[in-house]
Amino acid sequence: MDTIYKKIADIVGSNYVSNAAEELYIYSRDQGVQPARLPDYVVMPNSTEEVQKIVALANKEKIPIVPMGGALVLSGLTIPQRGGIVLDMKRMNRILEVNEKSHYAVVEAGTSQGMLQAYLKKHHPKLKHSVPDAPPVATIGGNIAIHGSGHLSQSEGGFHTEMVTGLEVVLASGEAVKLGSCSTVPKWFSRAPIPDLAGLFMGWNGTTGVITKIGLKLFPSPKLKDVMMFMTEDVDSITDILFRIIDTEMAEDIAFFVSPKPAYFEGYQLIMISVVANSEKEMKLRLELIRESVREYIDSKEAGFLPLPPYMKVKLVGAPQKNLSEFADVMKGGGFEYVGAIMPVESIPEAYRAGLEITSKHDITYSMGARIVGRGSCVMFYYAYPFNRADSKNIETVAKALEETNEKALEIGGIPWKTEISGQQLILERMEPGTYKMMTEIRKLLDPNGIMNPGNWEVQS
Amino acid sequence: MKQEYADIIHRCFRCGWCKLPTNYQDFNCPAYLKYRFETFSSGGRMWLLRAWLNGDITTSERLQQIFFSCVTCKNCVEACALPHIKDKLVDIFIAAREDLVEKSAVPPPVRDYLKAMSISGNPYKKPQAERGTWAEGLDIPKYTDQEYLFFVGDVGSYDEVGMKMARSVATLLSDTGVSFGILGEDETSDGNDVKALGEAGLYEHLAKQNIGILNERGVKKIITLSPHGYNAIKNEYPEAGGNFEVYHYTQVLGLMMNDTMPKGTLNAKVTFHDPCYLGRWNDEYWAPRFALGSIPGIELAEMDRNMKNALCCGGGGGNFFTDILGTGKDSAAQVRVSEAVETGAEILAVACPLCYKMLDDAVKAEDLGEKIRVMDVAEIVNESRK
Amino acid sequence: MYELKFDPAICEKCKSCDCIMKCQYIDMDLEKAKEEHRKLVRGEDSEILTQCVTCYACEEYCPYHNHPFYLIVERQEEKGIHPVPKPIEKSQVVMMAPKGRIGEKAAAEPVINLCYFPMLKGSISGKLYEGTSLILGSDIFCNLMFLHFARNSVIKERLPAMMDNIMKYHLNPGGAKEFICYHDECYGTYTSWAPAFGMEVPFKPIHLFDFLYNRLKELKSDIKPLNIKVAYQRPCSSRLCPEMDHFVDDIFELIGVERPEREYDRENALCCGGVLEAQQRFDLTEENQTKNIEDMKATGATHCVFNCPFCFFTLMGKVSEKGMTPILMSDLCRMALGE
């Protein structure tokens, strides 16, 4: 019998390790267009201690290890590039603490966004956390490892990683370390004032360690929700319109989008503004201030708020929105992948035109848009391309379009987010040598045997 | 595999909505809850099925385990985000089982169940003559020309817990003034779970046999004990030429004859567990609640996962007989009884003999007997009359 | 082609200028009103063109039926005035365009024309509609809504084809000559707008309330009087056929419903606010909705009944918030039949 398998089974129990063809098949691929690569084992730990033992074993045996959350990244970041162990973290889904008085929660990394959402709704209805647009099975840990952002984008913070108050991480050596206030006192309220080491694990795609616990900021959850949709057909006015709305500081979330389908939206730009309030009076005021901020555009008749029927509002105030997953079926083929490029707000018109050009060149359909992250320093501009999983030519075309989009995003001054291995190469090519050198040295220090999600964030020879 | 299904399996995005109830509180797919590998979720199954049909993976024991662990509870159908495939998910899984059955590639417990069904006509390998023994001493007439036939099914006929439930339902129907009779030893398995396990040929044989007897006796209206039988007779039999007016017993007690249903007072907090084959399969959520709610003194407390979001007991899709899912902390039944206890209810009401046994065993396994007891709706009504 | 039948001599002789003086949204003294209206007639710029909220009411106010509202819309379009922001207007033109998906479906009388409200299909069931045939869709849509967008040209362009479609695909194959307009905007299209623009109508439209009243009379023995007070939300489209309003009272009497007198019913009815919102008149939307619903509530009405599905969708949430049940007239009638 495979001795590694046996050793892993001794740690997690034989029910939670597999090297069966079926698990290897599923864990070798994700929903996007990146090529599959088989792992050797799929392992599901149940505690930090188990993670420590598995990582220590992998380190000793020099077996690559790829932490995986909801497996919804779409860009192949949990596909084990050099085989080894895929560490499915979803059994570690305990909500350890909700500190209602200090507005933070501590959860195990495999906790799903939906589960935390449901838990807060039931037990702490006045509080919520920022959820990404991903389906609710996406995990808190996975989202932090890739610098996610979400529906409370306008709250202080912006990126979800900026809402992290502390981490527990298992290093390649098998040691577990706490980062943030929790390292010094038994509370998870802040990463300051001590040296901020948490950044060594956020946005690293699991190449520096396995995140096992997270402290997360919570935000008020006012009971009234409304949504506004502002429509224009002049993309060059978008930046100005967005800033007028952002600067009111009245919105909870602001997102811009364009879509050729349905046909009555083609050629128009829409801005969705989510507003919450504790009373009708407050809601009225918030809506009024937002409307006033764009009064000039309304009076010019060149733009305006689209009246939304109640059934549509009900769909739009929810987070995450289920119909986003429906985009996967646009080509009747169960797939889509997107380039999500982080870029300055001012780049939106250029980014939009680039998207139109690329999609027209490859004759593919799309959905494009941008979520404003924070109070407007940047956006996550997405170019989403659906494809037909059963049509390999179509997959190839979309893969090419994605690559070109990555290049274009960098060219116009953006940086692709949670990007594919090939996109990472494009970033590293442009990165200052000193920065890359520092990244490499840090990794050598933390992971001398190079077992942590190898292939990611490294220049390919 | 039907072309209609083969044409759409690639359209699953594997986005994972299928794992959760609509309130997201916890995993609501019993197979995924238990095994936790992506392969055991509905999305994983869809992708594996495609790989299998394309020859990328072989017909292994693991594959069989993955397909036969589905409890056909339809949570995924409810939760799936893709309108063009969602309604067909469970049908596709059953079709995959049919393919496996055809290749005789099934786990041993499935093989044994199907063998017993084929030889003995029931999963317990008991004589057909014993089918009516549950009714001994109750003075229930054989069906002649009464308004309704009371159809009991395999579990109600042979399982100890099921027989107890059949007796309480029959007694209550009788006292409610329902005119009914039973087939006793002439009853045949409804075949619902045989079909769910992918043995289409045997199911057809059972259905035809049943329909033949029912038509021969002039049966027009049927009351079933089990939601499984209710589902087969209501939704599947018409295709096989059997057209009957069929009700689940809770519909008779809660909706049609609630006024004449005898009831006393029962001061108890009760939580109701929706059976999948009554709820998600047949959209009946209120009848059992009306029946319970009409008893003075009963306070109905809902579990967080109720109605369309109910967590299956784990006994659907044949698993009651094959036990592929097994027991343990992450077994649906054990999770479910803990959820029931959280409501503060002292009675966990059920309306299906399979749920009854699954949850009753789980109460014992979780050592929750001091806090909660499992009772069927009719039993609760009868208790109120004492 | 399709010129508005409008007689300037009538306006010249008119002393009361009811079209402006009775308007709930334009506030002018008689002199000013006459002057502004004269500008309108002459084709000059007038404040009326930008102040008009397109509520259709002046079509009802004008005692001479001289089509003051259609004149406003004609002038608005001529002058490039856009009551609704241009992107929204253009998008709506595309959204409501005929999709060319119509196929032959013989419709035998009585025929219900459900306009372009596919979501209301479920409403056409029960005893009231037994034996009816149903037609609907973008290819038979009256398009009259574009009056609110100052796009009369869209109606002129699309309506003849829509009427042809109705005849060719539905009425002729089924041997029908008439249909019931579920939405009275369709009824207004064929009985008011089309004649005003000299467009021939090849069938006989019947108002839904007329149909409901007669069906209810036939089903009288099945009616269980509802014994409730119901506030009526009169829509803008009803301004094109005010002669049908008595059917509301007639139906109510049959089904045992009281139509309480209130300030904003009948001639003084208020716009639901949906159009006002599209026109970005947010304060007015809020003001109208608030005073309208408070007025309903003050009468002790338990339900608010709608003629127009668009009003229904716009106000249903706000009506429910105030503890009243929003319901379409057709469904209210079905309720009285115990459905």
pLDDT in tens, B142-195: 999 999 999 999 999 999 999 999 999 999 999 999 999 999 999 999 999 999
Determine whether C273 is exposed, middle or buried from the number of CB atoms within 10 Å of its CB (0-12, 13-18, 19+): buried
* Residue numbers in B near A390 (CB within 8 A): 10
Residue B96 near residue B301, CB atoms below 8 Å:
no
Classify domain A91-220 at the CATH class level: alpha beta
Closest in A42, A138, A335 to B37, CB measured: A42
Question: ∠ CA B137-B142-B148 to the nearest 5 degrees?
Answer: 115
Average pLDDT over residues A167-185: 98
Determine whether A37 is exposed, middle or buried from the number of CB atoms within 10 Å of its CB (0-12, 13-18, 19+): middle
Report CB contact under 8 Å: C91, A309.
no
Work out the mean pLDDT of chain A and round it to a whole number.
Answer: 96
Where does the pLDDT of residue A1 fall: very low under 50, low under 70, confident under 90, or very high at 90 and above?
Answer: low
Exposure pattern of B303-323 as b/e (b: 16+ CB <10 Å)?
bebbbbbbbbbbbbbbbbbbe
From start to end of chain B, where are the E strands? Answer: 148-151, 180-181, 221-224, 245-248, 268-272, 298-300, 347-350, 373-376
Report CB contact under 8 Å: C85, A302.
yes
Closest in C87, C94, C282 to A233, CB measured: C87
Report CB contact under 8 Å: C280, A231.
no
The closest alpha carbon to C175, from C133, C142, C136, belongs to: C133
Interface of B with A in 150-169 (CB under 8 A): none
Determine the length of chain C: 339
Q: Indicate the SS3 state at residue A380.
A: strand
Q: Does residue A157 have a pLDDT over 80?
A: no
Where are the CATH 3.30.70.100 domain residues in chain A? Answer: 224-321
Residue C108 near residue C133, CB atoms below 8 Å:
yes
Report CB contact under 8 Å: A265, C91.
yes
| Contact residues for A312 (Cβ-Cβ < 8 A; gap 6+) | none
CA B302 to chain centre: 20
State the nearest Cα–Cα gap between A333 and chain C, in angstroms.
25
Q: What is the pLDDT of residues A350-378, one digit of tens each?
A: 999 999 999 999 999 999 999 999 988 89
Q: Does residue A158 have a pLDDT over 80?
A: yes
- Beta-strand pair B298-300/B347-350: unpaired
The closest alpha carbon to C45, from C60, C31, C35, C30, belongs to: C35
Average pLDDT over residues C57-61: 97
Where does the pLDDT of residue C182 fall: very low under 50, low under 70, confident under 90, or very high at 90 and above?
Answer: very high
- Rounded Cα distance between A108 and B183, Å, is 56
State the nearest Cα–Cα gap between B314 and chain A, in angstroms.
18
> How high is the pLDDT of residue A64?
98
Q: What is the pLDDT of residues B82-96, one digit of tens each?
A: 999 999 999 999 999
What count of other Cβ atoms lies within 10 Å of the Cβ of residue B300?
15
Interface of A with B in 31-50 (CB under 8 A): 31, 42, 44
Average pLDDT over residues A315-331: 91
Determine whether A98 is exposed, middle or buried from the number of CB atoms within 10 Å of its CB (0-12, 13-18, 19+): buried
Residue B151 near residue B170, CB atoms below 8 Å:
no
Where does the pLDDT of residue A461 fall: very low under 50, low under 70, confident under 90, or very high at 90 and above?
Answer: confident
Where are the CATH 3.30.70.260 domain residues in chain A? Answer: 324-426
Report CB contact under 8 Å: A298, C280.
yes
Residue B107 near residue B65, CB atoms below 8 Å:
yes
Determine the length of chain A: 461
> How high is the pLDDT of residue C1?
78
Determine the length of chain B: 386
CATH code that applies to domain A224-321? 3.30.70.100
What are the contacts of A402-409 at 24+ separation with CB within 8 A? A402/A33, A402/A337, A402/A338, A402/A339, A404/A358, A404/A361, A405/A339, A405/A341, A405/A354, A405/A355, A405/A358, A406/A339, A406/A341, A408/A354, A408/A358, A409/A339, A409/A341, A409/A343, A409/A351, A409/A354, A409/A381, A409/A383
Report CB contact under 8 Å: A326, B14.
no
- Among left, alpha and beta (phi > 0; psi -120 to 50; other), residue B137 is left
> B12 at the A interface (CB within 8 A)?
yes
Q: What is the pLDDT of residues B2-19, one digit of tens each?
A: 899 999 999 999 999 999
On the question of a cis peptide bond just before residue A222, with omega within 30 degrees of 0, the verdict is: no
Average pLDDT over residues A84-95: 98
- Tally C-beta pairs within 8 A across A and C: 54
> How high is the pLDDT of residue C185?
96
> A72 at the B interface (CB within 8 A)?
yes
> How high is the pLDDT of residue B97?
98
Domains and CATH numbers, chain B: 3-106 (no CATH), 124-255 (3.40.50.1860), 263-384 (3.40.50.10700)
The closest alpha carbon to A88, from A56, A66, A64, A113, belongs to: A66
- Rounded Cα distance between B215 and B210, Å, is 8
The residue ranking higher by pLDDT, B1 or A65, is: A65
Q: Indicate the SS3 state at residue C254.
A: helix
DSSP label of B352: S
From start to end of A26-175, where are the E strands? Answer: 41-43, 65-68, 85-88, 95-99, 104-108, 127-128, 164-170
> How high is the pLDDT of residue C48?
97
Where are the CATH 3.30.465.10 domain residues in chain A? Answer: 91-220
- Among left, alpha and beta (phi > 0; psi -120 to 50; other), residue A23 is alpha
Report CB contact under 8 Å: B13, A334.
yes
> C118 at the A interface (CB within 8 A)?
no
Work out the mean pLDDT of chain C and round it to a whole number.
Answer: 96
Q: What is the pLDDT of residues B194-212, one digit of tens each?
A: 999 999 999 999 999 999 9
> C318 at the A interface (CB within 8 A)?
no
Residue with tokens 């002049």: A234
Q: Does residue C218 have a pLDDT over 90?
A: yes
Q: Does residue C277 have a pLDDT over 90?
A: yes
Q: At what angle do helices C152-165 and C68-78 cross, to 10 degrees?
A: 110
State the nearest Cα–Cα gap between A23 and chain B, in angstroms.
6
Determine whether C311 is exposed, middle or buried from the number of CB atoms within 10 Å of its CB (0-12, 13-18, 19+): buried
- Rounded Cα distance between A44 and A53, Å, is 12
Report CB contact under 8 Å: A31, B14.
yes
Residue C264 near residue C295, CB atoms below 8 Å:
yes
> How high is the pLDDT of residue A153?
87
Residue B353 near residue B250, CB atoms below 8 Å:
no
Edge-first strand order for the sheet with A41-43 is A17-18, A41-43, A85-88, A65-68
Q: Indicate the SS3 state at residue B177.
A: coil
Report CB contact under 8 Å: A26, B48.
yes
Best probe of the C interface among A229, A235, A237, A264, by most C CBs < 10 A, is A264
| Contact residues for B281 (Cβ-Cβ < 8 A; gap 6+) | B74, B227, B231, B235
Residue with tokens 């000193």: A434
Q: What is the pLDDT of residues B303-343, one digit of tens each?
A: 999 999 999 999 999 999 999 999 999 999 999 999 999 99
Give the domain A324-426 fold.
Alpha-Beta Plaits (3.30.70)
Where are the CATH 3.30.43.10 domain residues in chain A? Answer: 3-89
A3-89 under CATH 3.40.50.2000, yes or no: no
Which tokens hold the place of A54? 């598995």
